[in-house]
Amino acid sequence: MKAIRFLLVIILAAVGLYLYFHKEDNFKVKDSITVSQTSGMDMNAPITAPPKFAVITGTITNISKKNFNEIEIVYQTGIDTLRVDIGNLPAGQSSDFTSKSIRVRSGHPDYKMIDILSKEE
Protein backbone atom coordinates (compact mmCIF):
# COMPACT_ATOMS: atom_id res chain seq x y z
CA MET A 1 0.00 0.00 0.00
CA LYS A 2 2.87 2.37 0.81
CA ALA A 3 4.48 1.57 -2.52
CA ILE A 4 1.30 2.55 -4.38
CA ARG A 5 1.06 5.86 -2.46
CA PHE A 6 4.72 6.57 -3.14
CA LEU A 7 4.23 5.81 -6.85
CA LEU A 8 1.19 8.13 -7.01
CA VAL A 9 3.15 10.94 -5.34
CA ILE A 10 5.99 10.50 -7.83
CA ILE A 11 3.56 10.50 -10.77
CA LEU A 12 1.77 13.62 -9.52
CA ALA A 13 5.10 15.41 -8.99
CA ALA A 14 6.23 14.48 -12.49
CA VAL A 15 2.96 15.71 -14.03
CA GLY A 16 3.19 18.95 -12.02
CA LEU A 17 6.77 19.58 -13.17
CA TYR A 18 5.86 18.82 -16.76
CA LEU A 19 2.94 21.28 -16.68
CA TYR A 20 5.07 23.92 -14.96
CA PHE A 21 7.88 23.81 -17.50
CA HIS A 22 5.71 23.21 -20.57
CA LYS A 23 2.89 25.62 -19.86
CA GLU A 24 1.44 27.37 -22.87
CA ASP A 25 2.23 31.06 -23.09
CA ASN A 26 -0.52 33.50 -23.98
CA PHE A 27 1.68 35.99 -25.81
CA LYS A 28 4.49 36.03 -28.35
CA VAL A 29 6.76 39.09 -28.35
CA LYS A 30 9.32 40.18 -30.94
CA ASP A 31 11.31 43.19 -29.79
CA SER A 32 14.49 45.14 -30.36
CA ILE A 33 16.29 48.06 -28.77
CA THR A 34 17.39 51.14 -30.70
CA VAL A 35 19.95 53.58 -29.33
CA SER A 36 20.19 57.17 -30.55
CA GLN A 37 22.52 60.00 -29.66
CA THR A 38 21.75 63.70 -29.56
CA SER A 39 23.68 65.56 -32.22
CA GLY A 40 23.72 69.18 -31.03
CA MET A 41 26.15 70.24 -28.34
CA ASP A 42 26.94 73.61 -26.83
CA MET A 43 30.38 74.96 -27.77
CA ASN A 44 30.95 75.98 -24.14
CA ALA A 45 29.97 72.60 -22.73
CA PRO A 46 32.64 70.49 -21.05
CA ILE A 47 34.11 67.81 -23.28
CA THR A 48 31.96 64.77 -22.64
CA ALA A 49 30.18 62.33 -24.85
CA PRO A 50 26.67 63.38 -25.78
CA PRO A 51 23.92 61.43 -24.02
CA LYS A 52 22.49 58.28 -25.54
CA PHE A 53 18.84 57.30 -25.41
CA ALA A 54 17.25 53.88 -25.96
CA VAL A 55 13.79 52.90 -27.13
CA ILE A 56 12.37 49.37 -27.24
CA THR A 57 10.08 48.65 -30.18
CA GLY A 58 8.30 45.48 -31.16
CA THR A 59 5.14 43.52 -31.74
CA ILE A 60 3.10 41.51 -29.26
CA THR A 61 0.71 38.81 -30.45
CA ASN A 62 -2.04 37.16 -28.41
CA ILE A 63 -1.57 33.49 -29.35
CA SER A 64 -4.27 32.22 -27.00
CA LYS A 65 -8.00 31.92 -27.52
CA LYS A 66 -8.68 34.39 -24.68
CA ASN A 67 -9.12 38.16 -24.71
CA PHE A 68 -6.85 40.20 -22.40
CA ASN A 69 -7.12 43.71 -20.92
CA GLU A 70 -4.58 46.07 -19.37
CA ILE A 71 -1.55 44.36 -20.91
CA GLU A 72 1.79 45.72 -19.76
CA ILE A 73 5.25 44.48 -20.74
CA VAL A 74 8.00 44.98 -18.15
CA TYR A 75 11.63 45.27 -19.30
CA GLN A 76 14.89 45.56 -17.38
CA THR A 77 17.59 47.74 -18.97
CA GLY A 78 20.64 48.10 -16.79
CA ILE A 79 19.33 49.30 -13.44
CA ASP A 80 16.15 50.81 -14.91
CA THR A 81 12.76 49.13 -15.15
CA LEU A 82 10.77 50.11 -18.21
CA ARG A 83 7.03 49.48 -18.54
CA VAL A 84 5.22 49.48 -21.88
CA ASP A 85 1.42 49.78 -21.82
CA ILE A 86 -0.31 47.81 -24.57
CA GLY A 87 -3.96 48.05 -23.54
CA ASN A 88 -6.46 45.46 -24.78
CA LEU A 89 -5.59 42.60 -27.10
CA PRO A 90 -8.29 40.25 -28.42
CA ALA A 91 -7.51 36.61 -29.22
CA GLY A 92 -5.29 36.17 -32.26
CA GLN A 93 -4.56 39.91 -32.65
CA SER A 94 -1.22 41.72 -32.73
CA SER A 95 -0.17 45.17 -31.60
CA ASP A 96 2.97 47.19 -32.34
CA PHE A 97 4.52 49.06 -29.42
CA THR A 98 7.18 51.64 -28.65
CA SER A 99 8.49 52.32 -25.16
CA LYS A 100 9.34 55.66 -23.67
CA SER A 101 12.88 56.84 -24.23
CA ILE A 102 15.38 56.19 -21.44
CA ARG A 103 18.93 57.42 -21.03
CA VAL A 104 21.63 54.75 -21.33
CA ARG A 105 25.41 54.78 -20.98
CA SER A 106 26.30 52.18 -23.58
CA GLY A 107 25.70 52.13 -27.30
CA HIS A 108 24.64 48.48 -26.94
CA PRO A 109 22.74 48.23 -23.65
CA ASP A 110 21.53 44.91 -22.34
CA TYR A 111 17.81 44.51 -21.89
CA LYS A 112 15.47 41.67 -21.08
CA MET A 113 11.76 41.18 -20.76
CA ILE A 114 10.89 40.43 -17.15
CA ASP A 115 7.14 39.88 -17.30
CA ILE A 116 3.92 40.44 -19.19
CA LEU A 117 1.13 41.59 -16.89
CA SER A 118 -2.48 41.23 -18.03
CA LYS A 119 -6.05 40.65 -16.96
CA GLU A 120 -8.18 38.04 -18.68
CA GLU A 121 -11.66 39.12 -19.80
pLDDT > 70 fraction of the chain, expressed in percent and rounded: 83
Q: What is the pLDDT of residue 77?
A: 87
Q: Sorting pLDDT into bands at 50, 70 and 90, what band is 95?
A: very high
Secondary structure (DSSP) of 65-110: SS-EEEEEEEEEETTEEEEEEEEEE-TT-EEEEEPPPEEESSSS--
Residue type, 82: L
> How confident is the model over 79-90, as a mean pLDDT?
92
- Cα separation of 17 and 10, whole Å? 11
Write down all domains in the chain, each with its CATH number in brackets: 25-39+48-120 (2.60.40.10)
Q: Sorting pLDDT into bands at 50, 70 and 90, what band is 50?
A: confident
Q: What is the pLDDT of residue 18?
A: 65
Question: In 3D, which of 97, 84, 88 has the Cα closest to residue 121?
Answer: 88
